[in-house]
Amino acid sequence: MTYYIHAAKFFLKSNTENGGYLEVTDEGKFGNYYPETDKPEGRIVDKGNQWIAPGLVDTHIHGLLGHDVMDNDWSAIQEMSEGLLKAGVTSWLPTTLTGSFDQLNAVCQTIGAHAGEETGAKIQGIYFEGPYFTTEHKGAQNPKYFKDPSVDEYKAWQASAKGLLKKIAIAPERAGAVDFTEKVTADGTVVALGHSSATFEQAKAAIEAGATVFTHTFNGMSGLNHRQPGMVGAAMYLQQVDDELICDGHHVRPEVAGSLIREKTPEHVALITDCMRAGMMPDGDYVLGEFPVYVKDGMARLKDGDSLAGSILKLDEAIKNVVDWNGVTPEDAVKMASYTAAKSCQVNDKCGSILPGRDADYLVLNPDMTLAETYLNGEQRYQA
């Protein structure tokens, strides 16, 4: 049955409205927005002083609830999709780690065969983080699988995924990176740049060849120096590219996160989690890929070397963090975790905005930016 949400604030695609009514049709789609002075006839669901936002889109997430995408277990992917609703995420890209060709191909086959069957957050594609990286900035990726980019491998993975491979991250200094970028982006897949020692010039060459995203900006990349701008300099300086950003307060200091957002604007910063299997789990010992990890004090770290190993961040926490850090408005925080995130992976035709005819995937937020409810296709699926 069609209903109308009445709330204090609505984060619509083009602007934010105070008060009013948002239609949700009996097909589970968004209808029209009506201002406070134009109350519609029909069932009104009143959310009082709360805010209505589009469902969040996590475009870089490896695991949750003890599971990892690389486990290649559809039932685990399904559990993750359900769990993500508790983080305000209604669409996501299951994200792989660096692995062998066959490991990655098996993940593509599994998700390609089952995508659409998930009952929680909707799978909008697959994100390959690797294997075409550089050892110096390996992070928690396994360098034994690193190699130069191969278009033939990409085509095989894409066939197994039934076209669902939406984004692949590479190090732009690898041999053949520019040619790979040209061919893969011409095929409609997003190329991201990360885990790289590239110079500014090498990163710029890949961007000019069609790459459009920097993977978890600042982390796993050559830093900014006033004479050698590096990957960080490229991420901050180059226009019309989107920068992923992990806002857990551990990966990037709040002041630095705020500087990037101010420089690139929320239109070009996509909030991500890079969450690993310990997300929504207690502290303790875990595994990321083939590496032992321990989780303590809100961080996941490799036991060997103590470097950060992904995060245990939830995306609803990220949008609250950036507001609490006084870096952005609530509107911009939501935008970076919904519209900009979806745009960065070219899935913004399906999710990330409140628009008539779109699936009514939305959140009810409290004025302090905490999550109150998550709705999927117009139906409540989570209540805090």
Q: How far apart are the first and last CA of the chain?
A: 24
242, 243, 248, 274: which is the annotated catalytic residue?
274
Question: What is the C-alpha separation between 34 and 24, in angstroms, rounded?
Answer: 12
- How many residues are present in the chain? 384
Reply yes or no on whether 274 is catalytic: yes
**8-state DSSP, 257:** H
Encoded tokens for 187? 């095929």
Closest CA to 217 of 173, 274, 293, 166: 274
> Which residue, 127, 128, 126, 120, is CA-closest to 56?
120
CA distances 184 to 144, 205, 210, Å, are: 24, 15, 9
Three-state SS at 116: coil
Distance CA 362, CA 355 (A): 11
Longest dimension (CA), the chain: 64
Active-site residue list: 274
